[in-house]
Amino acid sequence: MEKEKFYLTTAIAYASRKPHFGNTYEAIMSDAVARYKRQRGFDVRFMTGTDEHGQKIQDLAKDAGISPKQYVDNISSEIKGIWDTMNVSYDYFIRTTDENHEKAVQHIFKKLYDKGDIYKGYYEGMYCTPCESFFTETQLVDGKCPDCGREVVKTREEAYFFKMSKYAPKLLEYIETHPDFIKPEARKKEMINNFLKPGLQDLCVSRTSFDWGIPVTFDPKHVTYVWIDALSNYITGLGYDPDNEKQPELFEKYWPADVHIIGKDIVRFHTIYWPIMLMALDLPLPKQVFGHPWFNFGADKMSKSKGNVIYADELAKRFGVDGVRYYALSEMPYANDGSITYENIINRNNMDLANNLGNLVKRTLAMTEKYFDGVVPAPEGEEELDKDLKATVKTSIERFEALMDDFRIADAAEVVFSMLSRANKYIDETMPWVLAKDESRKGRLATVIYNLLETIRIGAVLLYPFIPDTSDSIMKQLNTSLNTYDSIAEFGALEPGKKIGEAVVLFSRIDEEKMLSEIDAEREAAAKEAQKPEKPEGCAEITIDNFMGVELRTAEIKECEKVPKAKKLLKLKVDLGYETRQIVSGIAKFYEPADLIGKKVIIVANLAPATLCGIKSEGMLLASGEETVRVVFLDKDTPNGERVR
């Protein structure tokens, strides 16, 4: 029997900077869905990738002194590496600089132009480079970008436009007749009320002010602007090309997508721009677009400028890959923003992973080894406590499926850990250590241990989408290959008589105070490092002979006064011991005359005299700084006239 297909995608990550934990959440969540669907028997196609064109990248590459292609090669590789580190099981990683994608995008642009859905005009408006978005004056918030809060620039340039308004009524009708198209529900209401009903403006789809993009074939001074380029990846990644008479098997098999999993900030592009493009191409729309919330650091959005950015790969070094995956998936609500703090991660690790899951597995395997020589016992009979545990397991599986199918990932994780908590309580209720002391209750002890082992196995199957390596480790410790979803249809599939494997620690408890102290120390060290001034370019090297040619002498300031009509200058009389000199110095902004009289300083004693504001100057004070000048002062006991070496 042919498997039912399931095609899901993430938004492709913008290849401008290393993705922070909030960006990585989307890949981890999508991976959990993909793994779950594979367990359920679906033929899954899971695609992710990187968006690599645009003015922002061109500017960043210029600042880095490399080509845009070199720049995105580096960042895309870094993003892919983080996805791999976090065990993201994608089937295809697309890059918008891939030759087949660029070619298909050019053909898509030309088809829409030939159809009359794209026309040439001029764009004049406010442009946000980081968001690569145009805004009208009324859309700005306090004169800044409404999405990211950064500065915008007024731009006018020739551009091609896509006739969004032509398809708006058709899209509105589609959304209203397909209630599951946009999830969660609040996102759908936002799109309808804030964008579709007020009326759509035609969309700018080309640029001429930069050239790092896919050229428009029939007008090469234009490059395809982000939306047709980036959004098309969902079909070009399946081989779609409008110029092909017959589309490839991959496209025919998997399109339309079952779900696009994206961040809430780009729901508009995926539920308005993208569906209208598909309508214009006469292609079916994706079945669903799910706009997940954001991860904030505490109560604040992650931002490099705030210094609160956390990276998933760095977290994994401290908490392990599965520890990070579990936190991400268990902590993000369905519709509201999630929060990440080191305290919360430690608490999740200690309470859920170490205490609940880890302790259950450790205790049960230890009792199996102690009471049955490490052999899975055959259950004998059934009591009310057993029925209650089995009922909890059965209900948990049913609830887990419903929640995962609705992308309520954190709620699904909670169901599994509630089931494990029930198993831990079952140990306390049945007290195997007491049963072991009564030979006549050996059969009852066997039932209890078997039920615990089977509950652990079922828990490992359910947890596979969340913490796959840990799930595999549990199966290895149980010495069973029964890791499929079909194997948990009925309680009792674990084979009695088999020897369990070697027990290993799944998760260790973390000393919260110690780890937080280490994190604070690392942050302080990083902050100090960031505050270090950059190494100056300096001047050309000199020899010792050059240096010895400069005569530096100690002197005492005897008199000091301001130079009339010269705000920056002070006139000083300095005593070198063997003579008195007059020096004019541009330090009036930083010192009052009274503050300098009596101070010991260093002067350049063999500097040729100069005239400043009509006053003769016979030397120069030694000082540091540019914006703020600091004179070098010496110990008050320093003799006048000493040579400085």
First-last CA distance in the chain: 90
CB 324 within 8 A of CB 27: no
Backbone angles phi, psi at 233, to 5 degrees: -60, -30
Asked if residue 565 has pLDDT above 90, the reply is no
Neighbours of 524 (CB within 10 A): 10
Q: What is the mean pLDDT of the segment spanning 300-329? A: 84
340 SS3 class: strand
Span(s) in the chain for CATH 2.40.50.140: 544-634
Residue scoring higher pLDDT (515 or 336): 515
Q: What is the pLDDT of residues 8-57, one digit of tens each?
A: 999 999 999 999 998 999 999 999 999 999 999 999 999 999 999 999 99
Measured between alpha carbons, how far is 12 from 94 in angstroms, rounded to an integer? 8
**535: pLDDT confidence band, cut at 50, 70 and 90?**
low
Among 108-117, 524-533, 537-546, name the most confident range.
Answer: 108-117
Are 209 and 157 in contact, with CB atoms under 8 Å apart?
Answer: yes
Tell me what pLDDT residue 339 has: 85
Confidence of residue 617 (pLDDT cuts 50, 70, 90): very high
Query: 589: which DSSP letter?
Result: T
C-alpha torsion 51→291→19→329, nearest 10: -140
pLDDT tier, 299 (very low <50, low <70, confident <90, very high otherwise): low
DSSP secondary-structure letter at 534? P
Across the range 610-627, mean pLDDT stands at 88
- Going by C-alpha positions, the residue among 187, 173, 7 that lies closest to residue 90 is 7
In the chain, CATH 1.10.730.10 sits at 341-488
Q: Per-residue pLDDT averaged across 611-620, rounded?
A: 90
Q: How far apart are CA 524 and CA 518, in angstroms?
A: 10
Q: Is residue 378 scored above 70 in pLDDT?
A: yes
Residue 511, classed as helix, strand or coil, is coil
Sole residue written with tokens 């295809």: 92
Kindly tell me if the per-residue pLDDT of 538 is higher than 70. Answer: no
Q: Which residues contact 255 (CB under 8 A, 6 or more apart)?
A: 7, 235, 238, 240, 283, 284
Q: Report, as an integer, the average pLDDT of 299-323.
A: 80
Tokens of 211: 């050239």
pLDDT of residue 566: 85
Which parts of 6-67 fold into alpha helices (H)? 21-39, 55-64
Report helix, strand or coil for 32.
Answer: helix
User: Which of 368-377, 449-458, 611-620 shows the lowest mean pLDDT across its residues?
Assistant: 611-620
Identify residue 562 by its one-letter amino acid code. Answer: K
- 60 CB neighbour count, 10 Å cutoff: 18
**3-class secondary-structure state, position 199:** coil
pLDDT confidence of residue 390: 98
Kind of pairing between the strands at 295-297 and 300-301? antiparallel
- Kindly give the interhelix angle for 442-463 and 359-372, rounded to the nearest 10 degrees: 150
Which of the given ranges, 123-132, 193-202, 397-406, 624-633, has the highest pLDDT on average?
397-406
User: Is residue 614 very low, low, confident or very high in pLDDT (cuts 50, 70, 90)?
Assistant: confident
Helix, strand or coil for residue 364? helix
Does residue 220 surpass a pLDDT of 60? yes
Q: List beta partners, residue 643.
A: 553
Residue 329 and residue 409 in contact, taking contact as beta carbons nearer than 8 Å: yes
Judge whether 295 and 340 are in contact, CB under 8 Å.
yes
With vertex at residue 562, the alpha carbon angle to CA 561 and CA 563, rounded to the nearest 5 degrees, is 120
Q: Does pLDDT of 491 surpass 90?
A: yes
CA distance 362 to 528: 43
pLDDT at residue 58, as a whole number: 96
The phi and psi torsions of 390 (rounded to 5 degrees) equal -65, -35
Query: Which residues are CB-contacts of 612 (< 8 A; sequence separation ≥ 6)?
Result: 563, 566, 569, 584
Reply yes or no on whether the pLDDT at 308 is more than 80. Answer: no
pLDDT at 613: 84
**Helix (H), strand (E) at residue 313:** helix 312-319
pLDDT attached to residue 172 = 94
Average pLDDT, the chain: 93
Is residue 96 within 8 Å of residue 12, measured between CB atoms?
A: yes
Contact, 46 vs 30, CB < 8 A?
yes
* Predicted local confidence at residue 159, as pLDDT: 94
Q: Is the pLDDT of residue 534 over 70?
A: no
Measure the CA–CA gap between 293 and 184, rounded to whole angstroms: 10
* Tokens found for residue 608: 């040729």
Q: Does residue 302 surpass a pLDDT of 70?
A: no
CATH number of 544-634, picked from 3.30.230.10, 2.40.50.140, 3.30.1550.10, 3.30.1050.10? 2.40.50.140
What stretch of H or E contains 392? Answer: helix 384-405
Which of these, 307, 309, 237, lies nearest to 24 by C-alpha position? 309
Predicted pLDDT of residue 527:
79
| Amino acid letter, residue 233 | N
DSSP bridge pairs for 207: 223
499 pLDDT higher than 60: yes
Q: Please tell me the predicted confidence (pLDDT) of residue 620.
A: 92
Residue given tokens 């998760």 in the structure block: 507
Query: Considering only CA atoms, which of 194, 466, 164, 226 is closest in space to residue 328?
Result: 466
Compute CA 444 distance to the chain's CA centroid, rounded to the nearest angstrom: 51
Which residues, other chains included, contact 327 with Cβ-Cβ below 8 Å and sequence gap of 6+? Answer: 319, 340, 344, 345, 348, 349
pLDDT category, 297, cuts 50, 70, 90? Answer: confident
Tell me the torsion sign for CA atoms 278, 279, 281, 285: positive
Residue type for 406, please? Answer: D
Which fold is adopted by the domain 341-488? Answer: Isoleucyl-tRNA Synthetase; Domain 1 (1.10.730)
Give the separation between CA 32 and CA 456, rounded to whole angstroms: 20
**What is the model's pLDDT at position 627?**
78
